[in-house]
Every structure is written in C-alpha cells, then in structure tokens.
C-alpha cells in the first residue's frame, strides 16, 4: 500500500509526556510520593488537625480547614460594599497552622507596687492608718522574698549551695580524680549536648544520642531521665518560668523529619517525653543502663550514682 500510494509510514512522539525520559521521571515521582505517604499517612486514627509532614499539631484557634465557609462569610459581607474601599479584616480570615506556631503567652496583670505604696502613703496621711503600721507590710502584690513574679518561686541559688557543701566537706574533696569505671549521666543535661540537623529524622537523632554516650562515656553508663508524663510535678514551677512561648505539640515517629528549632521542640513536655522514649530504646541497644523517673530525677540520679559507687569507681555527670 505504501508503494502504491507512494507514501511512507513512520511514528513519532506526539506529546512530550510520552517520551521515555518523562515517563521515568513520572515513575520516580510516584515512588517518592508513595514512600512519603507510608510515613505521613493521612488516614491514621489520630483525629487531631496537624501537618502530616512535620507532625506539628494545630492550636485550638486554627480553622483553615473550614476555609470554604469562612470565604462564604467574607463574600456575604462584601455584598453592597464599594469594591475599592472594602477591607478584609484579619479576624475574618482563616487562621493557618503557620500563624500559630509560637504563640506569646501574655503575663497576668499585676498591681503596680509603686502605685500601691503611694496609695497607702496617702491613706496614712489623711486617714486613721499610721505610716508606721503601713511600713510593717511589704506593699507588694506577692511576697518578693519568695516569688520573682506572680505564682513563680524564685530560682534556687545552686552555686551558693555548692560552695557551702564544699566548705562544709572540704576534707572529703579529692585533689585528683580516680580512674572512672562507670558514669552516671543526667538525661536532661544530655538532651542539650547533641546538636540536631535539619532534614534528619527523629530515629537518626535518637541514635546520635546513643553514639555520643558510648563514644564519650562507654557502654557501661547509666543514664537517668526525668519523666514528663501528664500530672503535677515539683518542676512545674521551673517549666512555668521557662515557658515564655507556647509551642505546638508534634506527633512524630522515627521516620519523621525534624524541622524547626531544637529548643522550641524540647520546650513542650509531650514532645520531650516521646523523644526520650526513642533515645532510651537506642541506649538499651547499646547496653547502657537506663532509669526513667516518673517525675523529677534528681534524687534518682544520686541514688544511681551511690549504687554504682559501691561496686566500682563512678562519676556523676550533668547538672
């Protein structure tokens, strides 16, 4: 037929999506998306609103998932309004997860101590209250000798206590450190010694703590961690003092990639406790002894150091 019609039949690429290079690229993209969905499954049983890539859980005010109804409300307000003068109010817009990643917690309003003193002074001059009686009180909304702010105790002066102990037990202080066979580590201090890198998953971060511990202190090491389960703790006051910002909860697994700032992540007790469980699993694989206290671990650290010192030369590390 080709010879009879004096025509030739050939084939050619009709669309660039049918090229071999493009099909290989598409297949690679599909495989990458599939592997990510295995780690970041949108069909988990967790009902919380969160970023499936980072695990960050949305705050209560986030309503971006209701964007359609929010848009309809804005359009309803626009009816009958001049187009060039209408403004979109911020309170009417949808609130995204990125807008509430770190919410500033406003401090409680307190009474101005200077103004309180002035009022007592005026009363003492004009009323029946004597100035001597007024000066018997500290004239403060809270007791400044014990509190640095409302409901926040003053921080203990640990260096002063350490100097007092050294002076009291100066005869027991050794001039040279004996060869140490075992180390007892403060897990809370250990958390801040290992740097994190963006793009690492949390499983690699947990493994880095085990590698750091074995490399610097050996496998015959006891690590004592604080517990951060829900409920009151004697360190609640310390956490309240440090908690100037309220950072979101992160739901993550060993395969989730870390993003953000390490300090912000660790400022949330729930995040810290989940990471500690991963670190404990890696440390146990490295034959380290682990103590995970239900709350504050200071007493458990001392007990672990005393027990270890009964059988071998031990050193307590951390603060």
Written as tens digits, the pLDDT of the chain (319 aa) is 778 888 887 766 666 677 788 888 999 999 988 887 777 777 777 777 887 777 788 877 888 888 899 889 988 888 888 888 888 888 888 888 776 544 444 444 545 666 766 776 776 666 666 767 767 776 666 777 777 776 777 777 778 888 888 888 777 666 665 666 788 888 888 999 999 988 889 999 999 999 999 998 888 888 999 887 666 666 666 666 555 555 678 888 888 888 888 888 888 888 888 999 999 999 999 988 898 888 888 888 888 888 887 776 555 555 5
SS3 185: strand
Tokens representing 138 are 């500290």
Domain contains 228? yes
Instruction: Give the SS3 label for residue 317.
Output: strand
Q: Is residue 276 one of the residues assigned to a domain?
A: yes
Domain that holds residue 220: 181-317
278 inside domain: yes
- Is 198 part of any domain? yes
Nearest alpha-carbon partner for 253 in 223, 277, 218: 277
Give the CATH number, domain containing residue 199: 3.40.50
Q: How far apart are CA 120 and CA 137, in angstroms?
A: 10
Which residue do the tokens 């290079």 mark? 21
Structural domain contains residue 14: no
Cα-trace Rg, the chain:
31
How many domains in the chain? 1
| Structural domain contains residue 258 | yes
Separation of first and last alpha carbons in the chain: 92
β-bridge partners, 212: none
Position 102 in a domain: no
Q: Is residue 139 part of a domain?
A: no
Contact 58, 250 (CB under 8 A): no
């Amino acid at each position: 037929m080709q010879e009879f019609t004096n025509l030739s039949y050939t084939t050619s690429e009709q669309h660039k999506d049918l090229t071999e290079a493009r099909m290989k690229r598409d297949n690679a993209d599909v495989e990458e998306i599939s592997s990510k969905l295995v780690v970041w499954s949108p069909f988990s049983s967790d009902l919380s609103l969160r970023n499936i890539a980072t695990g960050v859980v949305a705050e209560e005010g986030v309503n971006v998932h209701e964007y359609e109804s929010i848009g309809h409300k804005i359009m309803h307000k626009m009816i009958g309004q001049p187009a060039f003068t209408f403004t979109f109010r911020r309170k009417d817009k949808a609130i995204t997860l990125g807008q509430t990643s770190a919410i500033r917690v406003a401090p409680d309003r307190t009474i101005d101590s200077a103004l309180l003193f002035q009022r007592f002074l005026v009363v003492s001059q004009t009323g029946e209250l004597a100035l001597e009686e007024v000066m018997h009180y500290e004239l403060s909304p809270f007791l400044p000798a014990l509190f640095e702010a409302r409901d926040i105790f003053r921080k203990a002066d640990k260096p002063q206590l350490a100097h007092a102990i050294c002076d009291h037990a100066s005869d027991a202080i050794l001039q040279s450190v004996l060869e140490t066979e075992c180390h007892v580590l403060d897990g809370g201090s250990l958390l801040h010694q290992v740097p994190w890198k963006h793009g690492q998953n949390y499983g690699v971060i947990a493994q880095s703590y085990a590698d750091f511990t074995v490399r610097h202190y050996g496998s015959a090491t006891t690590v004592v961690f604080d517990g951060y389960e829900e409920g009151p703790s004697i360190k609640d006051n310390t956490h309240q003092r440090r908690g100037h910002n309220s950072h979101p909860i992160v739901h993550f697994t060993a395969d989730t990639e870390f993003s953000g700032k390490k300090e912000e992540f660790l400022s949330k007790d729930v995040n810290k406790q989940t990471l500690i469980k991963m670190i404990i699993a890696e440390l146990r694989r490295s034959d380290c002894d682990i103590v995970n206290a239900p709350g504050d671990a200071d007493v458990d650290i001392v007990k672990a150091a005393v027990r270890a010192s009964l059988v071998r030369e031990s050193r307590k590390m951390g603060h």
